[in-house]
Amino acid sequence: MSLHELSVVEAGRRLRAGETSSVELLEANLDRASRTEAQIHAYLTIDREGAREAASQADADLADGIDHGPLHGIPVALKDNMCTRGIETTASSQILAGYVPPYDATVVARLRDAGAVIVGKTNLDEFAMGSSTENSAYGTSYNPWDISRVPGGSSGGSAAAVAAGSAFVALGSDTGGSVRQPASLSGVVGLKPTYGTVSRYGLIAFASSLDQIGPLSRSVEDSAVTLETIWGHDPLDATSHAGEYPTPSAALEKGVSGLRIGVVRELAGEGYEPAVESGVSGMIDRLSDAGGEVTEVSLPTFEIALSAYYLIAPAEASANLARFDGIRYGLRVDGSTTEELMARTRAEGFGPEVLRRILLGTYALSAGYYDAFYGQAQKVRSAIQSDFSRAYEEVDVLVSPTSPTVAFEAGARVDNPLAMYLSDICTIPSNLAGHPAISVPIGVDDGNLPIGFQVMAPALGETVMFQAAAEVERLAAFTARPILAEVAS
């Protein structure tokens, strides 16, 4: 196996055994990026100089006996909606072109403190609004498994980089499935942690009650160790969890014997590709054979989760994106009054999907419509939380496909916003409830496109979720890699 294909944990083992160095790992990643970027366009910015400096420092520290933990010396990519001091951060929007943050997001600071090497910033749908990266103002990313297809989104650049070997692990953000769906479509592991466990300070906000940062990785163990590096209480985020945190990495070998596994009835049927359904039901059978107590459970409000999401998320976005006004940072289009300047800047700086969601959210919050739309959506959200609570009286984890389909062709859904929104039908309920969920690759379809399996757990249930996810990974024994021809750029 080439250096750029190693897991974080294996790369870390070799580092500590003196078999490789952080500089060597980084150069392997950079070299791989230089041969794959022309095809997949995972990155918006690669910070070669900063990364080389950090890798040399990581090597020097290790030589001095200073070990900062599992991510020490490991090259990491960041979705470009996380602020990085001194490195341009655009959220894939024209309105932030040229913006260089004067501070690091808390997750970035934690990664730096943990000795990680920040390779660069990955592509996303503008402001994380989308399921394909086609809404990026800086061009689409492509799926390493088939470059005519999308990698999913919105964290599609992070998923493509980890799948292609141009990052060992990457961070994404998940508001309605934006880590898990691209992980599923790109054949990597994607995690959305419990709301409030990973600080959102320095994450460019989309929908603040739903946004949560999580890792995309090549193994379940890598996901757990990355999570344990970035999470924890942060006084800079008022929604940050101040209590105890579990240790999910300790549960990876426990297996599923006696574990109660609920199969969500509502996340199957019409709209689900046969290969996805048969892959998922095959895995459920194997979990049962491995000692899991499998039952089917019904969560009826899942049927209206998507509707609630497409009122709540745009409503919050319309408020959060009010800050982009052409005055304090980013693009400015002049006008004769301040209001005209703002309205022109915003109309020019935001792309069509962002404009659509701002209009949708503004409408849902406007006088006369609030009760019928936004208020009602928040009640649905409570009903979804109640459905989850009832289900977790009977089972320990819930399982489903991560996405109803495998990776779709670029361009196939760009003219139909509603069809694009349906990509997230399996992932949205966990965001609305604030619960953790993880996608694990379990195989490929006839076209060699990856299929993802989702494990959901109650709030702060990361330990049992990782316990089940690790077993899914063992049973799937999914070792395939994308066959991506290298092309010098």
Partner 1 sequence: MPIDIDIAHVARLARLSLSDTELETYKAQLGVILDHAAQVQSLEGDPQAESVHPLGFVNAFRDDEVRPSLDRGEVLKQAPDTEDGYFVVPPALETE
Residues 396-425 touching partner 1, rule: CB under 8 A, are 417-418, 421
Asked if residues 463 and 248 have their Cβ atoms less than 8 Å apart, the reply is yes
**Residue 274 touching partner 1 (CB under 8 A):** no
Which range touches partner 1 (CB under 8 A), out of 45-53, 270-278, 291-299, 353-361? Answer: 353-361
Cα(436)–Cα(49) distance, integer angstroms: 36
Query: Contact letters (x/-) for partner 1, 136-175, by CB under 8 A?
Result: ----------------------------------------
Site for partner 1 in 66-105 (CB under 8 A): 99-100, 102-103
**Residue 196 touching partner 1 (CB under 8 A):** yes
Q: Out of 79, 92, 223, 240, which one is annotated catalytic?
A: 79
- Number of residues that make up the chain: 489
Cα(204)–Cα(198) distance, integer angstroms: 14
What is the token pair recorded at 67?
Answer: 């070990």
Q: Out of 93, 154, 173, 223, which one is annotated catalytic?
A: 154
Q: Which residues of 48-79 are buried (b: 16+ CB within 10 A; e: fewer)?
A: eebbbebbebbbebbeeeeebebbbbbbbbbb
**Residue 327 touching partner 1 (CB under 8 A):** yes
Cα(112)–Cα(135) distance, integer angstroms: 30
Site for partner 1 in 302-321 (CB under 8 A): 303-304, 306-308, 310-311, 318
**What minimum distance in Å lies between the beta carbon of 434 and partner 1?**
3
Which range touches partner 1 (CB under 8 A), out of 104-112, 224-232, 259-267, 350-358? Answer: 350-358
Asked if residues 4 and 93 have their Cβ atoms less than 8 Å apart, the reply is no
Q: Out of 7, 178, 186, 240, which one is annotated catalytic?
A: 178
Which range touches partner 1 (CB under 8 A), out of 69-77, 180-188, 286-294, 298-306? Answer: 298-306
Tokens 């976005």, residue? Answer: 317
**What minimum distance in Å lies between the beta carbon of 331 and partner 1?**
8
Identity of the residue, 62 or 380, whose beta carbon is nearer to partner 1 in the bound complex: 380
Identity of the residue, 17 or 242, whose beta carbon is nearer to partner 1 in the bound complex: 242
**What minimum distance in Å lies between the beta carbon of 86 and partner 1?**
10
List Cβ neighbours of 174 (8 Å cut-off, separation of 6 or more).
155, 180, 190, 192, 211, 212, 213, 214, 427, 431
**What minimum distance in Å lies between the beta carbon of 96 and partner 1?**
10
Which range touches partner 1 (CB under 8 A), out of 72-80, 150-158, 273-281, 328-336? Answer: 328-336
Task: Indicate left, alpha or beta for 213 from its phi (over 0: left) and psi (-120 to 50: alpha).
Answer: beta
Site for partner 1 in 228-267 (CB under 8 A): 235, 238-243
Q: Residue 192 catalytic?
A: no
Q: What is the DSSP letter of 205?
A: P
Cα(236)–Cα(152) distance, integer angstroms: 31
Site for partner 1 in 369-388 (CB under 8 A): 372-373, 375-383, 385-386
Identity of the residue, 30 or 460, whose beta carbon is nearer to partner 1 in the bound complex: 460
Phi, psi dihedrals of residue 450, rounded to the nearest 5°? -65, 150
Asked if residues 476 and 443 have their Cβ atoms less than 8 Å apart, the reply is yes
Element (H, E) at 226: helix 220-230
**Residue 326 touching partner 1 (CB under 8 A):** yes
What is the token pair recorded at 352?
Answer: 């069509």
Would you name the residues annotated as active-site residues?
A: 79, 154, 178
